[in-house]
Amino acid sequence: MKTAHRKQRLTLLVLRDAQHSVRQIQLSRPLMIAVPAAAILSIAGLIVSLQIQSAQTIMGLEKQLTLKSLEAIKMEVTVTDKDEAIERLNKAIIQLSDEAEQTKVQMERVQQLEQELQQFIQKHGSLSGQTSSILDDNDQHVGGEFIAVHENEMLSLAQETQDDFVEIQQLIASMERHIPRTLDQAQETQEKREGTPSLWPTTSKRLTSNFGYRSDPFTGRSAYHAGIDIAGKIGDPVYAAGAGEVTAAERSGARGLYIIVKHPNGLETWYMHLDSLDVSVGDHVNQGETIGKLGSSGRSTGPHLHFQVVKNNQTVDPIPYLQ
Ligand SMILES: [Zn+2]
């Protein structure tokens, strides 16, 4: 029993260096199997757990990688989208800038026209000198062609375009203020110009009697002459000195055949001693239109046109009206 028991034991000798004694370890047989088995098992377990852990780590990493690449793809897509959006915006800015430029040019042309109108009014209108001041067109930059487009350039182009629009708005505001007044003035000037009896009323320029006091050609006594006498040939055309309406076209003793034209602003022109009449009462005549023929009818010593201007029912000197 003791022997059998002994036989089931295993002695392990632990040999170290020469200074140390040899150690003896006695192990029972079950322990002899159990210890390496446990060691193997624990190592195996460790390996398995390491494998599981590493697999999990790898899976995690793979998952992260997948996510990252997805994000990268998404980023790429977003960046492409952004690039496209920026490109579109850039194009829009360039187009806007072109339009702003064109509009500005057009506005400047309109402004130029208004200035010409103003010059017309100043030249021909004896108005109260209320000429509107034109907004000064300061020397603004002009956006040219853009070949390379960089962010800064786009930003400055956008800024320029904005400036252009501000300027255009100012131009429009200025025109809205000036143009109606200018047009009114121009219309008034035109009406006055056409209506004012300013045209010499016949072909001959030979003035034989002035307006005012003179000695009467028939009596030799001093008398008031209400107009001017222009000598001419019978049949010479007599022109309307200004546009207006015929209010008289008839024969009367001293005046002979005569015409009265009524103009705007309370003015009338009278044409006397005519040979024949080309118009009737109620006719509208334009400046320069032939209204009759020069003659010597009525109280006349020879072929001439008696021309007089009546302003608010009073005769005035016609000469200052005639150009
Ligand atoms: Zn006369």
pLDDT for 291 equals 98
Task: Tell how far the Cα of 209 is from the centroid of ligand 1, in angstroms.
Answer: 7
pLDDT at 40 over 50: yes
Tokens read off for 279? 């118009």
Q: Where are the alpha helices (DSSP H) in the chain?
A: 2-7, 29-124, 151-195
Average pLDDT rounded to a whole number, residues 114-139: 59
SS3 8: coil
CA–CA distance, 158 with 19 (Å, rounded to integer): 94
Q: What is the pLDDT of residues 171-213, one digit of tens each?
A: 888 887 877 787 777 777 776 677 889 999 999 999 999 998 8
| Centre of ligand 1 from the C-alpha of residue 304, in Å | 8
Strand, coil or helix: 22 = coil
Centre of ligand 1 to C-alpha 205, Å, is: 15
Distance from Cα 100 to the centre of ligand 1, integer Å: 65
Q: For residue 79, report the distance from its CA to the centre of ligand 1, in Å.
A: 95
In this predicted structure, what is the pLDDT of residue 234?
97
Say how many Å lie between the CA of residue 224 and the centre of ligand 1.
10
pLDDT of residue 249 exceeding 50: yes
Q: What is the mean pLDDT of residues 3-9?
A: 54
The residue to which tokens 């020069």 are assigned: 294
| Rounded Cα–Cα distance for residues 269 and 321 (Å) | 11
pLDDT of residue 148: 56
47-61, 220-234, 242-256: segment of lowest average pLDDT = 47-61
For residue 280, how far is its CA from the centre of ligand 1 (angstroms)? 22
Distance between CA atoms of residues 229 and 79, nearest Å: 93
Tell me, in angstroms, the distance from the centre of ligand 1 to residue 294's CA. 13
Rounded to the nearest whole angstrom, what is the distance from the C-alpha of residue 295 to the centroid of ligand 1?
Answer: 12
How large is the angle between the packed helices 151-195 and 29-124, nearest 10 degrees? 20
Report CA(264)–ligand 1 centroid distance (Å). Answer: 24
The DSSP line for 101-138 is: HHHHHHHHHHHHHHHHHHHHHHHH------PPPPPP--
d(CA 215, ligand 1 centre) in Å: 12
The full length of the chain comes to: 323
> What's the 192 CA to ligand 1 centre distance in angstroms?
26
- Helices (H) and strands (E) counted in the chain, each on its own, are 3, 14
What is the Å distance from ligand 1's center to 306 Cα?
4
- For residue 306, the model assigns a pLDDT of 96
Which sequence spans correspond to the domains of the chain?
Answer: 2-78, 83-195, 207-321
How close is the Cα of 227 to the center of ligand 1, in Å? 6
User: How close is the Cα of 127 to the center of ligand 1, in Å?
Assistant: 32
Task: For residue 321, report the distance from its CA to the centre of ligand 1, in Å.
Answer: 17
| Alpha carbon of 53 to ligand 1 centroid (Å) | 132
Distance in Å, CA 231 to ligand 1 centroid? 10
* Neighbour-count burial of 296, counting CB atoms closer than 10 A to its CB (0-12 exposed, 13-18 middle, 19+ buried): middle
CA of 225 relative to ligand 1 center, distance in Å? 6
| Tens of pLDDT, residues 83-101 | 888 888 888 888 888 888 8
| Alpha carbon of residue 191 to chain centroid | 31
CA-to-CA distance for 245 and 287, rounded, in angstroms? Answer: 11
Contact (Cβ atoms closer than 8 angstroms) between residue 266 and residue 310? no
What distance in Å separates the CA atoms of residue 223 and residue 92, rounded to the nearest whole number? 83
What is the Å distance from ligand 1's center to 307 Cα? 7
3-state class of 268 per DSSP? strand
Q: 308 and 228 in contact (C-beta within 8 Å)?
A: yes
Model pLDDT, residue 149? 59
Degrees, nearest 5: CA angle 264-265-266: 95
Q: Express each pLDDT in 204-220 by its tens digit.
A: 999 999 998 877 777 77
User: Using CA of residue 104, residue 109, residue 113, residue 115, what is the dihedral sign?
Assistant: positive
CATH class of 207-321: mainly beta
Kindly give the distance from the C-alpha atom of residue 211 to the centroid of ligand 1, in angstroms, as a whole number.
8
